[in-house]
Amino acid sequence: EDKVVQSPLSLVVHEGDTVTLNCSYEVTNFRSLLWYKQEKKAPTFLFMLTSSGIEKKSGRLSSILDKKELFSILNITATQTGDSAVYLCAVENTGGFKTIFGAGTRLFVKA
Amino acid sequence: DSGVTQTPKHLITATGQRVTLRCSPRSGDLSVYWYQQSLDQGLQFLIQYYNGEERAKGNILERFSAQQFPDLHSELNLSSLELGDSALYFCASSDSMNSYNEQFFGPGTRLTVL
């Protein structure tokens, strides 16, 4: 059965800290891994990863995929209160182009 | 604002009833996806349409159905509603057939079944 597991489930940090969010997956016919940020409303796209070892970066956020060990990490440096959100990891497979989401990591950044 | 619109914003109904959720994708996007997000299940992929045709099916119940119209808007029909159907229903769109590109999510419709 395809599944995506994220850890930790939640964490609380102080502004300026660096955090690492983990996503491990088991999926047949892997196509891509995606990271989303969900605040109060709809998820917003962060990254799509398809190749191992290539870091994607956007400002203070970065992510990398390891297709051999079947995991990805999302790093946030110099966290700000605006980073407080649920971060969702999702994996797409080629069999029916389904998207499987993890339960998310709830990040709370304290001022 | 993602450019994806969903109506209604909130919907409260009783068990056994039927509701229709509507989604208008971003201009130019041919793919529409429907997701259900509940507290205990997280975000679940339901179904995808591409240019009017069903493209992929996820964890969608038989009581649920969807369609995409020639103007590319989509409707998700939920019938014989149960308490457990209470959730936030998201629609997303992309310009790709294969969901290879970024999906843009609408604001969601919150359904409450009493």
pLDDT in tens, A52-73: 888 999 999 999 999 999 999 9
Out of B56, B102, B104, whose CB is closest to A97? B56
Q: Is A71 on the interface with B (CB under 8 A)?
A: no
* Contact residues, B window 43-72, toward A, CB-based 8 Å cutoff: 43-45, 48, 55-58
Coil, strand, or helix at residue B100?
A: coil
Residues 6+ apart with CB under 8 A from B69: B52, B75
| Residues A13-52: tens digit of each pLDDT | 999 999 999 999 998 888 889 999 999 888 998 999 988 8
| Residues B11-55: tens digit of each pLDDT | 998 899 899 999 999 999 999 999 999 877 788 989 999 999 998
| Residues B55-110: tens digit of each pLDDT | 888 878 999 999 999 999 999 999 999 999 999 999 999 887 665 567 899 999 99
A/B interface, count of CB pairs below 8 Å: 48
Q: Is B96 on the interface with A (CB under 8 A)?
A: no
Beta strands in A8-110 (DSSP E): 10-14, 19-26, 30-38, 43-49, 56-58, 61-66, 71-76, 85-93, 99-101, 105-110
Out of B2, B42, B102, whose CB is closest to A101? B42
